[in-house]
Structure 1
Amino acid sequence: MVKVSPQVLRHGLRAYNSVWQYRADEWCRLEEAAVRLAGGVSTDRPLSMLTETVEAMLAQLQPVERYWAFPGARGFARIQRLFASGDHARFARTVAQVNRALTTESYRHDGTLAPVSGDLEGLDDAPAEHEATEDAPTRPYFEVLVVEAMTEAQERALRRELRRWRRPDDQFVYELVIVGSAEDALIATRVNVGLQACVIRRQFTHRSGQHASSLTSLVAADVAADLAAPTTEERVRLLARALTETRPDLDLYLMTEIEVEGLAGRLGQDFRRVFHAGEGSLDLHLSLLDGIAARYRTPFFSALREYSHRPTGVFHALPISQGKSIINSHWIRDMVDFYGLDVFLAETSATCGGLDSLLEPTGPLREAQQLAAKAFGSRQTYFVTNGTSTANKIVVQALLAPGDIVLVDRNCHQSHHYGLMLAGAQVTYLDAYPLNRYSMYGAVPIREIKARLLALRRAGKLDRVKLVMLTNCTFDGVVYDVERVIEECLAIKPDLAFLWDEAWFGFARFHHVYRRRTAMHAAAAVRERLRRPGSREDYDHYAEEIAGLDDDALLDRRLMPDPARARVRVYATQSTHKTLTSLRQGSMIHVFDQDFDQKVEETFHEAYMTHTSTSPNYQILASLDVGRRQAALEGVELVQRQVENAMQLRDAIDNHPLLRKYMHCLTTVELIPGQFRPAGIGQPLRSGLHNMETAWGQDEFVLDPSRVTLYIGATGIDGDTFKRAELMDRYGVQINKTSRNTVLFMTNIGTTRSSVAYLVEVLVKLAHELDDRIADMSLTERAMHENAVVRLTSSSAPLPDFSGFHPAFLENDGAAEPTPDGDVRRAFFLAYDDNLCEYLTPDEVDEKLDAGDAVVSATFVTPYPPGFPVLVPGQMFSRQIVSFLRSLDTPEVHGYRPELGYRVYTTKALEIAGG
């Protein structure tokens, strides 16, 4: 992603956040201009100006095209020569062919460049005309980056040498992108999402020899300086690691003529293979294909597909197995018409015949989970077929025993609360920063987490603190600095475990900026930092600095864990079905726990058995396997497109004169208070990739660009009504999250530019209708509308903090400094006795509070929206909570019965609990 140069802006074009999107649009604009130039007609400007425009477009594309195989630097140079020759008709025809091939991706068909081979005279390097018929399967196509300074003749020879090893039965086909410098290699991996492998050869330069000023900003200054290492070996090592940091999915290969055996021993861990350059390229060719085949494999999906094609005799459970109970039916054959036969052929309850058991995987399911672990950067990955709600309960039960203390964001998903109740843990709820104007919460500041840990340490309870549970990113897109949270907490409690609920963040692994704030990447980074040479000396110096500081002082400084004591124990739960490709309820648990084998493996297995069905849905498991393949091979491309679509949506809304009148997209400034943004950048991505990387590297909280929170207060329509009555019922626009004055749009890897355009079209229609309706309002109607606007644009009742557990559910251990951790399990099951509960209306709650009596919730009370529990079992009502609940516009409040009120404990119940 990059902002293109000012020259583009001078031509009246928008600024882009991804080079691939700019490139695609620029080719379309170039084709349009070329056709007009060839026709000798220009309705709005002299032909000389049109010629200058085409020349400027070619100049803008030139530094970009060298990072793609098609049409490539040499092919693009020939297009430029056609333009310079004045043969505008042939130039326009060639540009049209190239643009058509790029738009339809026909150039990927068996790797041929046939769409332009005629006009470009075969490009000298292009393979023969595509011979496959329309019915023949298309082999997946990818591109390989080669890093070496070469002459044009050497490049041509290398391409021909590798092409001669191609065979018709190869599973894949590839083309080369050749660059001569480390800087160009890093740029290529950022802009060309089709790269799947990189071959580094010894002879490459440090800096790019091209003047690509708008692209060199993609290479961080410190990385660029490091790549100027004095020895070739060190430069190779640094480049390999920089490429891995940017694109961990790339297969890296090294080719050298000198001391290949020694280099293999010293650098082998950074490369998939090390080759001697003088021994031919067949091994390289085969290794390139094998590397892609390893990621392309889908062990369980393939096993299930093979099973579905075998005749079987079912004398077991599941009558629907292989469709038998359907295809022989007179009444439900329409299921086959709707779903297709294959889905039923793949239905089975067997765990043999090439298949596997989810509870004790030893075959293809185990392999599929191992491939997922590699793709997502975990040590172990487990598939879950009934959603992240179950995944959260599995992890909680595996890590916690009754009486253990856990710190958890009070606004987390309800599955965490129920999981803690089942585990019997003592719960300390953490408060996120509030956004009262929008009736939503942000995230939990690190200061809040540290303060609770330090308080527990003073109370002598730190040994019982086992887990911190946080949501990353939040529903509204607030993302934590995961490394900082882990490090500072480990500085206080070295063996603390972390559960990061990444239900809506599974895609983040496949974007180079997002990745650094994911749980698995952060866990690996913290472990690497603790192990690096010099970490002991750094910690000793830090320990001297903090010696004698009190807890208040520790809250105001960055804490450092002791590398001799700290253990990295991180878990992440992800809803694959929400942000990547999977059938509904397909989720994963990722584990990066140094103590897993010794401390957790047995309890994890028991927890997994407790919450997992013995009859899991094999279709969901197969979709997780295929979804992993897609993420591993094209996740980078899909996530870049997802982010670019979100930015297109923001620009279309905020730059539209009518839409601006009634709504706007909330920015980082509006959703993250200034004290959590030391970088001070208000709109990181909109102001360029460098600013985004700066903010994501420094700020405590950042905003996920793919979450677009639309503020609609000026419409006078509350969020729930806008969602249901306007977007969904009238236009079929599906969204999930709303607040009283916002609606949340989320782009995903399935979002298309057409769907973005449709949403903008719908919003404009609604704005026009509202504009017309307001113009025709009577004075009374206008006053009512203005009152609605004032109500929605003014701050509501303050969002309530956690009021605390009733003393009956707190530990009475005589500690000098009581801690707020409560027993949710005891409070939850106490409510099973109806004689100990009663219902109170809001007015009756007020009366009891006025009388000084405690009112304690017997259940979870959760408004939708915003969807967080305002009350949990055992929590006391407060005036702030009652006021907030009264101010809600939402018709749906779980745990509240309008005809009865709130379910609370009787005085007798509290006496029993306290006794």
Structure 2
Amino acid sequence: MSLPSTDPVVHLLVVGHDEAGRAALVAALAAEACRAALRPALAVQGAAPGQALAAVRADAAVQLVLIDLHQGDEAVALAQALAQCRPELSIYLLLDDDDTRGLVEALASERVDGYFFRSDADPAGWVRILAAEVAETAATPFYDALRAYVAQAKDSWHTPGHAGGDAYRASPWVGDFHDFVGEQMLRADLSVSVPQLDSLLHPTGVIAQAQRLAAQAFGARRTYFATNGTSTSNKVIFQTLLAPGDTLLLDRNCHKSVHHGVILSGARPVYLDSSVNERHGLFGPVPRARVLQAIQDHPEARVLILTSCTYDGLRYELAPIIEAAHAAGIKVIVDEAWYGHARFHPELRPTALEAGADYVTQSTHKVLSAFSQASMIHVNDPGFDEHLFRENFNMHASTSPQYGLIASLDVARRQAVMEGYGLLERSLGFAAELREKIDATGVFRVLGLDELLADEVRSDGIRLDPTKLTIDISASGWGADELRDELIERFNIQIEKNTHSTLTLLLTIGTTRSKVSRLFDAMLRLARQAQKERREPRPAARLPRIPHFTRLACLPRDAFYEAGERLALLDDSGLPNPALVGRVCCDQIVPYPPGIPVLVPGQVIDAAILGYLVRLLQSQRSIELHGLAMRDGEPHLRVLREAERARLRPLDGG
């Protein structure tokens, strides 16, 4: 597959039955495109209707399709098939008359971007309109405005204090920072004092335009740029949809920001235990039956939030779950932080929005090309309260957003639309190649979907994002931490994460042939070393099984905001402190990895949870336990005092 060169060329595909007529139209359009000296250049090619779908799959540079078919229903069917494969395509139809146009509009108005009439043959005009379509799709309103403003070289008498980098430039102490970061980056670090660049908190200009283009690209009614990550995006949505005491169904495996959102919103959570692959210490989706049962058991629930895909690439079959939630009047939020690229390749779709989700959060920086912390919030909720959302958004957003982050979101959207399909096709090819080559080492092995799934979710229609590779290293004799360090120190390769028996690699649109080659070379060398040294496979060392959720004695928010008292995790003998059993935790206790809370504020501690935490602390040195209160070097848990617990309103059964 060919990818666009440094000087982009957009391909227009003309589709028609009549070979001679098609060739004549291609020639006429190509001649007009050449005469107009368009930028980007427009190349025209033809295909028969039966070849069109294969053509747009094979050529990532195709951005425009002109369908010249006399039968309206055939034209509509082809337009729908092309849009289903690559929704970013701009599709135009060549029609006979207004009657045909009415048929097409009735059947596929959202799939067709424009029309031309055969009776008004005007190749020059058509090329002009198609070129304008490309320009609109590829526009970067905010980035263009930022770049133009920086080029004007205005003197800065406003924030930030480094004044476009001038504070660094001549400094003998920090001048090297100016050189490291770069002139343009510092000049572009501006503030809300520049009205030409719009306001993220109340966008009406170039930021609003950029967000509209993003909504169109990702298939949302509205899209909002977030400069402090998906973590804050989740909290904003929670506070928009949930009032204190409202019931929320949530995947226990979700990101800790979701659990923080529970505290901030004052919601009453119903935690759904995720599936667990105990062999490899991987946490997967919540079984579908468990989600559907929770929907049935909690008719009062207002919101359901799920994570799709998971850190390891497992994604739900969302449509039936969302359909059941909507039937019960429940809004659905999907944390798609690790799956923001899915819209731009048919192998990765449907996205959560396409499956019917009301709200979707994406870490555009994780798998597309935005800067770190740059994320998007997509909204398809028909009952969306924009005023309330904006009030909550502004509560969390900085009044001094980083304009480079906003520009990177604008640019990332442009790249995803204009070349995302080709780049993802390349990444998927690299992923398949790495699977085959790593497996061929005879020591390391890339886990497939069947090996990643827990038994209880095998019939749930779960699929795997191929761009996330989980490598089983247990046969190599290397420990996971040891192997990770070897890769970084000997081969300059930094992986995404590891468990006790796996490494996780993340392929993105930035993955290159050279990186793939270096990675495979490193894995091959390490495999040969393991064989030469006759390393014995390590015994299956499983993490202690995470205990099931117990129960909530009170709302998480109520427990969190009490002062509580701090009790030692271990007693004087170094054993689990029995005084903690039956007490109510005030904090979120999260072993990382995997990052799933074992305790949340308001949860009752039992002996199983206490024993689990102690075993982790004593035997799993590579795992961090977030949320413990340290006193004199000893771990403590903050729990409600009995008087505080008595004062708080108990939940049913609490």
TM-score by length of 1: 0.66
Query: How has the CA–CA distance of structure 1 residues 643 and 842 changed in structure 2, closer, same or farther, with 3 Å as cutoff?
Result: farther
Q: Deviations over 1:693-721 (max 9, x none)?
A: xxxxxx52111111111111223443333
Match of 2:451 among 670, 685, 702: 670
Query: How has the CA–CA distance of structure 1 residues 914 and 363 changed in structure 2, closer, same or farther, with 3 Å as cutoff?
Result: closer
Query: How has the CA–CA distance of structure 1 residues 866 and 145 changed in structure 2, closer, same or farther, with 3 Å as cutoff?
Result: same
Match of 2:114 among 257, 273, 278: 273
Query: How has the CA–CA distance of structure 1 residues 884 and 766 changed in structure 2, closer, same or farther, with 3 Å as cutoff?
Result: farther
Query: SS at the partner of 2:270?
Result: strand
- Report percent identity of matched pairs: 34
Match in the other structure for 1:248? 87
More strand by share: 2
Contact 2:576 2:611 (C-alpha < 8 Å) held by counterparts: no
Match of 1:417 among 245, 259, 279: 259
Match in the other structure for 1:839? 568
Query: How has the CA–CA distance of structure 1 residues 722 and 910 changed in structure 2, closer, same or farther, with 3 Å as cutoff?
Result: farther
1:196 and 2:33 matched: no
> d(CA) in 1 for partners of 2:571 and 2:453?
33
Match in the other structure for 1:325? 167
Q: CA shift at 1:797, angstroms?
A: 3.0
> d(CA) in 2 for partners of 1:911 and 1:313?
59
Match in the other structure for 2:344? 510
Q: CA shift at 1:842, angstroms?
A: 7.1
1:908 and 2:642 matched: yes
Contact 1:196 1:249 (C-alpha < 8 Å) held by counterparts: yes
Match of 1:592 among 359, 371, 380: 380
Match in the other structure for 2:534? 774
> d(CA) in 1 for partners of 2:439 and 2:284?
23
> d(CA) in 1 for partners of 2:574 and 2:89?
61
Contact 1:308 1:322 (C-alpha < 8 Å) held by counterparts: no
> d(CA) in 2 for partners of 1:376 and 1:180?
29
Query: SS at the partner of 1:521?
Result: coil
Match in the other structure for 2:652? none
> d(CA) in 2 for partners of 1:794 and 1:336?
49
Match of 1:829 among 548, 557, 561: 561
Match of 1:760 among 511, 514, 520: 520
- For 1:467-506, list aligned pairs within 5 A: 467-491=303-327, 493-494=328-329, 496-506=330-340
Q: CA shift at 1:873, angstroms?
A: 2.0
Q: Deviations over 1:739-773 (max 9, x none)?
A: 11111111111011221121111112222222333
> d(CA) in 2 for partners of 1:178 and 1:169?
21
Match in the other structure for 1:867? 595
Match in the other structure for 2:461? 700
Contact 1:478 1:703 (C-alpha < 8 Å) held by counterparts: yes
Query: SS at the partner of 1:354?
Result: helix
Query: SS at the partner of 1:514?
Result: coil
More helix by share: 1
Match in the other structure for 1:580? 368
Query: How has the CA–CA distance of structure 1 residues 858 and 244 changed in structure 2, closer, same or farther, with 3 Å as cutoff?
Result: same
Q: CA shift at 1:879, angstroms?
A: 4.0
> d(CA) in 2 for partners of 1:157 and 1:490?
48
Query: How has the CA–CA distance of structure 1 residues 847 and 731 changed in structure 2, closer, same or farther, with 3 Å as cutoff?
Result: closer
> d(CA) in 1 for partners of 2:532 and 2:26?
66
Q: Deviations over 1:302-348 (max 9, x none)?
A: 00001001132333222323333233545433233222211122222
Query: SS at the partner of 1:343?
Result: helix
Q: Deviations over 1:509-540 (max 9, x none)?
A: 11113221x121112xxxxxxxxxxxxxxxxx
Query: How has the CA–CA distance of structure 1 residues 853 and 508 changed in structure 2, closer, same or farther, with 3 Å as cutoff?
Result: closer
Contact 2:581 2:607 (C-alpha < 8 Å) held by counterparts: no
> d(CA) in 1 for partners of 2:14 and 2:545?
58
Match in the other structure for 1:96? none
Query: How has the CA–CA distance of structure 1 residues 881 and 852 changed in structure 2, closer, same or farther, with 3 Å as cutoff?
Result: closer
- For 1:793-804, list aligned pairs within 5 A: 793-804=540-551
1:385 and 2:113 matched: no
Match in the other structure for 1:622? 407
Match of 1:345 among 180, 187, 202: 187
Query: SS at the partner of 1:184?
Result: helix
Contact 1:499 1:570 (C-alpha < 8 Å) held by counterparts: yes
1:262 and 2:92 matched: no
- For 1:220-231, list aligned pairs within 5 A: none
Contact 2:142 2:410 (C-alpha < 8 Å) held by counterparts: yes
Match in the other structure for 1:285? 127
> d(CA) in 1 for partners of 2:580 and 2:239?
38
Match in the other structure for 1:730? 490
Match in the other structure for 1:521? 354
Match of 1:466 among 294, 298, 302: 302
Contact 2:249 2:271 (C-alpha < 8 Å) held by counterparts: yes
Letter in 2 for 1:142: V
Letter in 2 for 1:582: A
> d(CA) in 2 for partners of 1:188 and 1:909?
71
Query: SS at the partner of 1:744?
Result: strand
Letter in 1 for 2:189: E
Letter in 1 for 2:594: P
> d(CA) in 2 for partners of 1:402 and 1:147?
56
Contact 1:798 1:880 (C-alpha < 8 Å) held by counterparts: no
Query: SS at the partner of 2:497?
Result: coil
> d(CA) in 2 for partners of 1:164 and 1:427?
62
> d(CA) in 2 for partners of 1:328 and 1:169?
45
Q: Bigger CA drift: 334-343 or 702-711? A: 334-343
Contact 1:642 1:706 (C-alpha < 8 Å) held by counterparts: yes
Q: CA shift at 1:908, angstroms?
A: 2.8
Match of 1:608 among 376, 393, 414: 393
> d(CA) in 1 for partners of 2:196 and 2:317?
43
Q: CA shift at 1:277, angstroms?
A: 2.1
Contact 1:713 1:742 (C-alpha < 8 Å) held by counterparts: yes
- For 1:74-113, list aligned pairs within 5 A: none
- For 1:614-653, list aligned pairs within 5 A: 614-653=399-438
> d(CA) in 2 for partners of 1:449 and 1:675?
13
- For 1:855-894, list aligned pairs within 5 A: 855-885=583-613, 886-887=615-616, 889=620, 890-894=622-626
Q: CA shift at 1:442, angstroms?
A: 0.9
- For 1:44-443, list aligned pairs within 5 A: 139-151=7-19, 155=23, 158-167=26-35, 169-181=37-49, 183-202=50-69, 232-256=71-95, 258-259=96-97, 261-268=98-105, 269=109, 270-278=111-119, 279-443=121-285
Query: How has the CA–CA distance of structure 1 residues 843 and 630 changed in structure 2, closer, same or farther, with 3 Å as cutoff?
Result: farther
> d(CA) in 2 for partners of 1:511 and 1:843?
58
> d(CA) in 2 for partners of 1:161 and 1:275?
13
> d(CA) in 1 for partners of 2:275 and 2:322?
19
Contact 1:845 1:855 (C-alpha < 8 Å) held by counterparts: no
Q: CA shift at 1:265, angstroms?
A: 3.1
Query: SS at the partner of 2:358?
Result: strand
Q: CA shift at 1:618, angstroms?
A: 0.4
Match in the other structure for 1:89? none
Q: CA shift at 1:392, angstroms?
A: 1.0
Q: Deviations over 1:360-383 (max 9, x none)?
A: 111000000000000000011000
Letter in 2 for 1:515: R
Contact 1:307 1:353 (C-alpha < 8 Å) held by counterparts: no
Which residues of structure 1 form unaligned runs of 5+? 1-19, 21-101, 110-137, 204-231, 524-568, 679-698, 776-784, 810-822
Query: How has the CA–CA distance of structure 1 residues 333 and 626 changed in structure 2, closer, same or farther, with 3 Å as cutoff?
Result: same
> d(CA) in 2 for partners of 1:353 and 1:166?
39
Letter in 2 for 1:466: R
Alpha-carbon RMSD? 2.4
Contact 1:838 1:906 (C-alpha < 8 Å) held by counterparts: no
Q: CA shift at 1:844, angstroms?
A: 7.2
Query: SS at the partner of 1:321?
Result: coil
